[in-house]
Structure 1
Amino acid sequence: MQTFETTLVVTQNDLDELNHVNNIMYVEWVQDVAKAHWLKNASSKIIDDYHWIMLSHYIEYKSPALLNDVITLKTYVINSEGVTTTRMVEIYKDSDKLLAKSETTWCLINSQTKRPARITPEIMDLFS
């Protein structure tokens, strides 16, 4: 299982009226880190031929993130089958305090037909 990670700093624009990171930002971060992992690993041909859409999303919040916190996003694929893949995203503060954990199901889409596409061994190998 290959893990990809990136860091970011919480800004004022990430906060809600309670002065902690808005729930919408967590979903955006999950999407952003998944996309970054895909773009880092996939060839330009694969990127041209396919894209992913989010089918379902479950997130468990453990602790709030606050202004200027340094956040680490770690992602990895736990299962790929047929046209879908299940991706985990773990969100940490100070590299060891788990703030949230997400499990998201993605569907591979053929860019030409706009229809679901079976995940090829080549694509599976990108994340194993």
Structure 2
Amino acid sequence: MSWQRPAPFVIDIEVLSEHIDGLGHVNNVVYVGWLEDCAWRHSQSLGLGLDEYRRLDRAMAVLRHEIDYLASARLGERLQMGTWIIDSPRGLKMTRRFQLLRPADGVTLLNAQTTFACIELSSGRPRRMPEDFVERYGRALVDL
């Protein structure tokens, strides 16, 4: 397989019947859910789960998704989604990139980028990232 960047955080995905739309392939909304799942699982692996978010009264909320759908996924296929943090997580924002691969043939099905903003959970307002976020997300930063 050909990851576009080194050392991705990777999740395995199996395309199930509930992922398929009327056109016989994975629905676009499902891909967005996979992006969220991959990002969330990566955050948890860095020690930033929901309990930590609540303790710090901070969370990373999606500001923008940019998705390039390159090929369709179909029922029964096994896929892998990788993610990378691509900019220094400081201040208010952080950016992740994603790549969805079909290992059977090495085809990239999707490339995406998501921009997150740090918010204060108690108010919903934008706030600077706490040092724990800067340090833990910074561990995962990939040089492009």
> Normalising by the residue count of structure 2, what TM-score does the alignment of the two structures yield?
0.79
Please give the secondary structure, in 2, of the residue aligned with 1:75.
strand
Q: Contact (CA 8 Å) 2:14, 2:76: kept in 1 or not?
A: yes
**Higher mean Cα deviation, 50-59 or 87-96?**
87-96
| Aligned pair partner of 1:51 in 55, 59, 75 | 59
Query: Number of matched residues?
Result: 128
Q: In 2, Cα distance between the equivalents of 1:70 and 1:90?
A: 14
How much is the aligned-residue C-alpha RMSD, in angstroms? 2.0
Which 4+ runs in 1 deviate beyond 3 A? 43-46
Uncovered stretches (5+) of structure 1, i.e. residues with no partner = none
Within the candidate set 109, 122, 127, 1:99 is matched to 109
How do 1:4-83 and structure 2 match up within 5 A? Answer: 4-43=9-48, 46-48=52-54, 49=56, 50-79=58-87, 80-83=89-92
Contact 1:39–1:47 (CA under 8 A) maintained in structure 2 = no
Hey, what's the Cα distance between the residues in 1 that align with 2:120 and 2:47? 14
Report the CA distance between 1:120 and its aligned residue. 3.8
**Alignment partner of 2:82: what SS?**
strand
Cα distance in 2 for residues equivalent to 1:33 and 1:43? 13
Q: Secondary structure at the match of 1:21?
A: coil
Quick one: structure 1 residues 18 and 56, their matched pair in 2 at CA, closer, same or farther if it must change by over 3 Å?
same
Q: Is the 8 A contact 1:60 1:102 kept in 2?
A: yes
Q: Percent identity?
A: 25
**What is the aligned partner in structure 2 of residue 116 from structure 1?**
126
- CA shift, 1:3, in A, is 2.8
CA offsets, 1:66-120, max 9 Å, x none? 0011010101111134211111111111173210011111111122332212124
